[in-house]
A and B are shown apart, each in its own frame.
Chain A
Amino acid sequence: DIQMTQSPSSLSASVGDRVTITCRASQSVSGYLNWYQQRPGKAPNLLIYTASSLQSGVPSRFSGSGSGTDFTLTISSLQPEDFATYYCQQSYTTPRTFGQGTKVEIK
């Protein structure tokens, strides 16, 4: 199975900050890497698919990059509604493994 490792596991940031979360795969997943946001008590929400494509309806402050084994999710200017947990997931092969999550908290 492909292992997905996110860093950091948590971070504290202020409104307006630029935030970067990384995701590393244990082997190449080509460009098949997706990012989700999950707020407490809610279902996950797809933000970015295939590494860098912005899902419809998602604000443009979210962006994704990378290929192969190393990927990044960037929030250009953190907004109050962005405080949540973020997960990467590879969809290159089954099982479609998730990272362990990165919790973004208010500083």
Chain B
Amino acid sequence: QVQLVQSGSELKKPGASVKVSCKASGYTFTSYALNWVRQAPGQGLEWMGWINTNTGNPTYAQGFTGRFVFSLDTSVSTAYLQIRSLEAEDTAVYYCARGETSGCDYWGQGTLVAVSS
């Protein structure tokens, strides 16, 4: 069965970096794009961007350029989200989700990144 399993919660200090992983199983990893979605506490869903799992080419939404980096390791069917120079406003649950124009049909369980001094 298709699964996206994300790494565990993180507590970081402002200015630090974090790398969230999203391991896919149950399907051919390179057949579907991987999206990243942010949800701040008590807020709605925010599409951060996506990565082409065939080419490794990332696309970032405005507001997620510079400090945010999407990457892949296709040898282990895993996508990564790295956030540099963390700020308190980055505190959120981050989701990976499979899909393209027909919506995101499988989601990871979410990873809470908390930024606090």
Contacts from A to B (Cβ < 8 Å): 1, 32, 34, 36, 38, 43-46, 48-50, 53, 55, 87, 89, 91-92, 94-101
Partner of A32, one of B97, B101, B109: B101
CB-CB under 8 A from A49, the residues of chain B are 102-103, 105
Q: In the complex the two chains form, is B110's CB within 8 Å of A89's CB?
A: no
Q: In the complex the two chains form, is A1's CB within 8 Å of B62's CB?
A: yes
Partner of A97, one of B47, B97, B104, B107: B47
Closest A residue by C-beta to B105: A46
Q: In the complex the two chains form, is A98's CB within 8 Å of B46's CB?
A: yes
Q: In the complex the two chains form, is A43's CB within 8 Å of B107's CB?
A: yes
User: Which among B49, B62, B104, B108 has the highest number of chain A CB atoms within 10 Å?
Assistant: B104
Since A46-B104, A50-B101 are in contact, a sample of 16 more A-B pairs with Cβ atoms closer than 8 Å, ordered by chain A residue number, is A1-B62, A34-B103, A36-B45, A43-B108, A44-B104, A48-B103, A49-B103, A50-B103, A87-B45, A89-B47, A89-B103, A89-B104, A92-B101, A96-B47, A96-B50, A98-B46
